[in-house]
Structure 1
């Protein structure tokens, strides 16, 4: 997936431990809970997470689907998946599995819902990715996307600067380019959001984290 993303996959291999600390921080956890809630999961459902990383969303997904359901996490970074697997094994969740794969060509079948947090902004063709993910969701199921971008709120300017720095550090191939990697990420998010809204019904949209994080979801028509 390295040639399809503006961010460097090796960054996430090297920084898996640090990423997990950030991904499970109290404020970030609240965003993840909101994203899982947007899926409207029920006990017994099968849910797929694209770009599951270190498995920060897995506890919330597993709680919603219960022991009768199934959680499948997909990620390309081996270091991330090892932490996700360790998290799953420590909890003793036999109905949770993580697999290595490209989110743009997911190695999964049909599910009741699909989640992708902080992923679509990394994908060169985010429109095609969302369309592919929708094919993995059965009729009546929901797809939810969570992604970061600059906040429109004046008070959030320091947060916007921090986000810009993070994205540039995580995108070594783009550091010397005139075009901002953050702007590229935001354009990919815009296209993903449009693809989701054009192919689904019952749309929902929320701004979280002082406007720095966007959460959108839609239901596959029956």
Structure 2
């Protein structure tokens, strides 16, 4: 993530947190994403790009007090909110790092064990559209969980439903407003088109890598959720 993007998301951390937790239907979606991780009590799950931590309680509910939840994000103001929200849970760790280069084996509290040892699932919600090479990130996450692990992606893209035109008009406005810099009125390439391309590529790569795949759509067909179990 570029420095300008970090500053942008850091500046809007409070509003982002409100949207992440209070948007109608979003809690149900986050609960569904946590369920798709196929977690059991005692498991370890890593969330790439955890933001303000809205998914972390749902993941902790799945792994129980004996499991481990690790959230990774690169933006400090966002992480501060995630840490504050999970301070009461001693098995939830929030680590500053890049989702494309997670702190594997780093000497940090809550750092990910090297070689995928003990990592049962990776979750990434509304993240791959921000990455330059989303398919490479998906490959890395699949390698991280290893055999019989699960990778789950949830991302927003233009709806394909019959009622899509008005929904997509709103979606495009949101994408433009949330793409730094927001002062730009015209883009050489529409950001929502590029976003669609990245998300389609990332979800396709997960389907290629996994032996068992679940595909769902939510929120008027805008949100795609793909969960894939890796081969033994």
- Tell me which interval the TM-score lies in, with the shorter structure as reference length: over 0.9
Q: Secondary structure at the match of 1:134?
A: helix
Cα shift readout 1:37-67 (whole Å, capped 9, x = no counterpart): 1111000000000000000001100000001
TM-score of the pair, normalised by structure 1 = 0.93
Q: What displacement does 1:173 show?
A: 5.0
CA RMSD across the alignment: 1.6
Rounded Cα–Cα distance in structure 2 between residues aligned with 1:159 and 1:85: 34
Structure 1 window deviating more from structure 2 (28-37 vs 150-159): it is: 150-159
Rounded Cα–Cα distance in structure 2 between residues aligned with 1:145 and 1:58: 15
Give runs of aligned pairs for residues 1-222 of structure 1, distance below 5 A. 1-2=1-2, 8-25=5-22, 26-89=24-87, 92-107=88-103, 108-109=112-113, 110=116, 111-173=119-181, 175=184, 176-222=186-232
Bigger proportion of residues as strand:
1
Structure 1 runs of 4+ aligned residues shifted over 6 Å read none
Q: What displacement does 1:84 show?
A: 0.3
Rounded Cα–Cα distance in structure 1 between residues aligned with 2:51 and 2:73: 6
Rounded Cα–Cα distance in structure 2 between residues aligned with 1:10 and 1:147: 22
Q: Which residue of 1 aligns with 2:106?
A: none
Rounded Cα–Cα distance in structure 2 between residues aligned with 1:157 and 1:27: 21
Q: Which residue of 1 aligns with 2:107?
A: none
Q: Secondary structure at the match of 1:216?
A: strand
Q: Secondary structure at the match of 2:159?
A: coil
Rounded Cα–Cα distance in structure 2 between residues aligned with 1:52 and 1:173: 22
Q: Secondary structure at the match of 1:151?
A: coil
Rounded Cα–Cα distance in structure 2 between residues aligned with 1:2 and 1:163: 23
For structure 2, the residue ranges without an aligned partner over 5 or more in a row are 104-111
Aligned length: 217
Rounded Cα–Cα distance in structure 2 between residues aligned with 1:47 and 1:196: 17
Rounded Cα–Cα distance in structure 1 between residues aligned with 2:167 and 2:13: 22
Rounded Cα–Cα distance in structure 2 between residues aligned with 1:153 and 1:140: 33
8 Å contact kept, 1:8–1:170: no
